[in-house]
Amino acid sequence: MVIINQKEFDKLDKPTQDAVLAAAREAEARGWKRMSEYTAESLNTLRTNKMTVYEPNAQFKSELSKMGETMLDEWLKRAGPDGQAIITGFRK
């Protein structure tokens, strides 16, 4: 992922903005690919060392999701409108 300050990004000329966005897309693709590889490597290491790895069931995933929503709600109460703007932008 690439993170850049929006005000600073807006100061860049269009060709430079386009170049930054292109580099960001490439970095994102590399990052997701590497994370997938790393996850597979990690799971293989666990299995090699006699660990049993299970796919979580629907109930467990649901409980994790509920916990995540609770944590997000608590954070949003502290973060206020700025936090809400971040989440709204993220969910677009």
CA distances from 70 to 54, 65, 74, 87 (A): 25, 9, 6, 14
pLDDT band at 66 (very low <50, low <70, confident <90, very high): very high
Residue identified by tokens 């929503």 is: 69
For all residues of the chain together, what is the average pLDDT?
A: 95
Backbone angles phi and psi of 38, in degrees to 5: -65, -40
pTM above 0.75, yes or no: no
Summarised one tens digit per residue, pLDDT across range 3-45 is 899 999 999 999 999 999 999 999 999 999 999 999 999 999 9
Please choose, from the candidates 2, 3, 60, the residue with its C-alpha nearest in 3D space to the C-alpha of residue 31: 2
